[in-house]
């Protein structure tokens, strides 16, 4: 059954569905809500203070990392998500402060020059959200090049395409029956489903090159 967390986060009671990881759109919506709660006027910070914020954001116990795991980690169960969000709720003042700084940077410099700090402070390296955002940016840059040489298929090519084989209901029923009685296959299927949501499938991680 779905679990819910009803706690006071940033002065508001926020019910959160925890039975599955959130989508990137939902995560962005949460960040927009946090930004709307932050008043950017009068925000002042020193370079040293800003660096301390960035260093804290990279820690495994930072609110950024905990929120990312609670919302986007496909391996977390509902109980783990609740515990992580409870810890995030306890960092409400830190969240408001960090969002104010990030919003002030964008307000002062514009999204073009201000977004690097926003990403580093709210979506530090090592988070799923950061990886997904960078992947979307890279895809956006590559799409024009990938589609430049593509041409729509001709009528002859469509006619020559092999028709899909008809579905055999008996074979499908037999496969489902085998799956229901095979725990190993069930685990493999679950792992494949989780890998579909990961930027790098489990077992295929590669070292980061600089």
Q: Which pLDDT score, from 0 to 100, does residue 34 have?
A: 57
Q: Quick one: pLDDT band at residue 2, thresholds 50, 70, 90?
A: very low
Six token digits for residue 173: 């029923």
How many C-beta atoms lie closer than 10 Å to residue 83's C-beta?
Answer: 14
Q: What is the pLDDT of residue 181?
A: 77
What predicted TM-score, i.e. pTM, was given to this entire model? Answer: 0.58
Q: Angle 163-167-171 (CA atoms, 0-180°, nearest 5)?
A: 140
pLDDT digits (tens, 9 = 90+) for 27-84: 656 665 555 555 444 556 688 889 999 999 999 999 999 999 999 888 888 999 999 9
What pLDDT, on the 0 to 100 scale, is given for residue 7? 42
pLDDT tens digits, residue range 89-108? 999 999 999 999 999 888 88
189: Cβ contacts below 8 Å, ≥ 6 apart: 179
Note the pLDDT of residue 207: 54
Is the pLDDT score of 11 beyond 50?
no
């Amino acid at each position: 059954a779905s679990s819910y967390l009803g706690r006071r986060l940033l002065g508001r009671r926020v019910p959160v569905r925890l039975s599955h990881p959130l989508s990137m759109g939902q995560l962005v919506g949460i960040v927009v809500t946090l930004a709307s709660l932050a008043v950017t006027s009068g925000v002042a910070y020193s370079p040293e203070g800003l660096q301390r914020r960035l260093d804290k954001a990279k820690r495994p116990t930072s609110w950024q990392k905990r929120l990312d795991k609670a919302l986007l980690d496909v391996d977390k169960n509902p109980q783990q998500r609740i515990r992580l969000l409870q810890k995030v709720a306890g960092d409400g003042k830190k969240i408001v402060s960090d969002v104010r700084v990030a919003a002030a940077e964008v307000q002062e410099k514009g999204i073009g020059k201000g977004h690097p700090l926003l990403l580093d402070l709210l979506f530090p390296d090592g988070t799923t959200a950061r990886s997904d955002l960078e992947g979307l940016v890279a895809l956006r840059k590559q799409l024009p090049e990938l589609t430049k040489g593509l041409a729509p298929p001709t009528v002859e090519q469509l006619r020559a395409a092999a028709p899909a084989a008809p579905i055999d209901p008996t074979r499908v029923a037999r496969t489902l029956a085998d799956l229901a009685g095979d725990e190993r296959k069930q685990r493999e299927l679950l792992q494949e489903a989780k890998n579909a949501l990961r930027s790098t499938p489990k077992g295929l991680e590669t070292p980061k090159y600089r």
